[in-house]
Each structure stands twice: as structure tokens, then as C-alpha cells.
Amino acid sequence: MERKYQICNRCVMDTTDPEIVFDENGYCNNCNAAINKLNEVFFIDSEVKKEKLKKIVNQIKFDGKGKKYDCIIGLSGGVDSSYLAYVAVKELNLRPLAIHLDNGWNSELAVKNIDNIINKLGIDLYTHVIDWDEFKNLQISFLKASVIDIEMLTDYAIGETLYRLSKKFGIKYFLSGFNCQSESIMPKTWLYSYKMDSLNIKDIYKKHGNGLRLKTFKFINFYEYLTYGRNQMKLIPILNYIEYNKQDAISKMEKKLDWRSYGNKHEESVFTKFYQSYILPNKFNIDKRKSHLSSLICSKQITRKEALAELKSPILINQDEEINYFIKKLDLEINEFKKIMELIPKDHWEFRSFAKRKQKLSKLYKIFFNK
């Protein structure tokens, strides 16, 4: 039986999230959880946040003595990562190594923004370039597998690069651009949560790829998957400890870094823009603007009225032009792409995964040790 449509009375999440639940006020589980988290992390006394941040920064500087870099950051050129770089250098006086992944989909504006950031802040940039044929074929395999999280490939490659370089340079801290203010809401069904699951990627590629040997796209093993982020590298969401307002951050970067806006979240990547504005809404009935805008509502950076007005605007302008560019870059025929869009969606769990292997080990551990 088809579920009756309902939208939250506080944010703009709705029943396109199949796991959404509403309370007696018509508020959804997404914004209830987001506000609880914000009350713990963001809506606290500013002096308390400053003291926590000071303690973290002092520890980073202490552990980084004698090293070229005391922390590592990912730099996509987007709002969050760009502002994180600015804060780390100009406000916290840290010495970050910036990491960028070139998967062949950078927009010209992203390249320019990154160049300005590096030059203005005087920081080193390491760019990991993935062979285009490799990445193209990986993305095509995910499209043909009809799984939802094609972006997992980029997220994984960034994570693997961070993991490898943190070991190489002995860097203990990864400063993440993630923040509760703008990213507190994201339904689990809208992505594959286990981003570092290299076995999932391998199996999808094995079943739907063209057999091209992957040389520049590196895979971590099961042990590395289990210990990722728990050994030499600690993740710290610095933006959670400051009074981070997205519009204020944009204004500051425009003045200080000659940074220019892309219009919407994550549009520094041409692929991400097309994926979020065409593939997700048309194949999976998902408009990610709802989660992004709802997060901003919960952190009181925009009103629900403003969010609803934003959702009325077209999600993708010049659709035919965007489609033609996308299929041409991936060497797909239009009919082939149409067939891919018509495929029945499959869950990532239908393929082999380290996540399933870990679950089995956990069950065995409980059985043998009665825990």
C-alpha cells in the first residue's frame, strides 16, 4: 500500500525518506535527532566551545612539533572545506597539509578556488589524480549495478588518500569539514553508510565493470577497514566548535580568498551536481536539497519558508545540455543511459561487503564470548 504523502511541520523532510516518522506535532525523526545533536554540540555556551577548541588545537600543535605538518585537511573547493582551510591557518595557526582528489570531474571554478586558497593561505597541496579511464569505468559499473551511492567512489578514494598520507607523514589529526550546522540530516536510505567498504566497490566492479585493471584506484584490506580512523588518525570536526554560519563564511572567503560561490552545495564537482540534480531525483525520487535545507533550518540559519521557496525553484537548469555533457564524458550512448535510468534500483547489500563480514564477526564474538 502506497504511503500517504506528508511533510514535516518544522523542516522540509517528507515521505520521500521511506523511514521518516512523525510525532504528535508533525515533527519528523530527522529534525528531532538533528536538534538534539545541535543542542549537544552547537547550541552551547560560546565560551565552553572556545575552551574545547583551545584544548584540541593545543594538543594538535603539541603532537605536531618537529613535523612539517600538524594536521591534514581535505580540500574540494566547496564552502565547508574551503572555510575549514581558512580557519585552520588564519584563526588557529595550524600547519595543515591539504589533500585534493582529482577524479576528472572538477569544475573550472573549483580549480580556480583551490588555487586561490592555496596561494592566499600559503599551504601545501597534495593532489591524488585517478586515471580517468579507471574512474570512468568504475562509475559506469555503479550506474549499471543500479546502486544509489555512486558518490561512494569519490568518498572512498578521498578517505584512502587521507589514510595513506597520514601514515606517510605521521600526521595524527584529520580536520573534517563536516558540521552539524549544515549536515545534521541525511537519511540512511539515501546513501551507503560504509564509505570505506572497498570490497563492496570491488564486487560491483567485478560484476558490472569492463575488466580494466585498476592501478591508480587503491584498495584497503579488511584489517585496514576495521581499524580505519582508530589507529594513527583522529577525525576532528573543527567547524562544530566555532560559530559557523554558511553565508557569513562565504562573504569572508570572497573578501579574503577571492573565493566564488557555485550556487548550491557540492556543485564544485560537475558529477556531483548532475548526480544530485538529475540521477537521484529521477531514478531514486530523492531531492537532497531537502536534507541540506532542513539542516540549515534546524541550526536556525534559514527559515522553513525560505527553504520551501528554494524547493520550488528548478533543481536542474538546461537539463538536455547537462545530460549530453554527462553521457559524452562517460562515453555512453543516450539510449544506453536511458536504459540505465530505467533499471530497478539495487541495494549495496546485494553485493559482497566488508560491512557484512564485520557483522558476522561481531555475531561470532558474542556467541563465543557471551558478550
What pLDDT does residue 366 have? Answer: 67
Radius of gyration of the chain (CA): 21
Res. 35: pLDDT tops 90: yes
| pLDDT tier at 190, thresholds 50, 70, 90 | very high
Give the separation between CA 84 and CA 324, rounded to whole angstroms. Answer: 35
Residue in 2, 303, 339, 288 with CA at minimum distance from that of residue 146: 339
Under DSSP, is residue 126 helix (H, G, I), strand (E, B) or coil? Answer: strand
Q: Percentage of the chain surpassing pLDDT 70?
A: 96
Q: Which residue has the higher pLDDT, 280 or 318?
A: 280
| pLDDT tier at 3, thresholds 50, 70, 90 | confident
As a whole number of angstroms, the longest Cα–Cα distance in the chain is 64
Q: Percentage of the chain surpassing pLDDT 90?
A: 85
| pLDDT tier at 362, thresholds 50, 70, 90 | confident
Under DSSP, is residue 98 helix (H, G, I), strand (E, B) or coil? Answer: strand
What pLDDT does residue 160 have? Answer: 94
CB-CB contact of 73 with 166 (8 Å):
no
Residue in 147, 154, 118 with CA at minimum distance from that of residue 279: 147
| pLDDT tier at 231, thresholds 50, 70, 90 | low
Instruction: Spell out the domains of the chain, with CATH numbers in brackets.
Output: 44-350 (3.40.50.620)
Helix (H) or strand (E) holding 271: helix 270-274
Average pLDDT score, the chain: 93
Residues 132-168 pLDDT 10s: 999 999 999 999 999 999 999 999 999 999 989 998 9
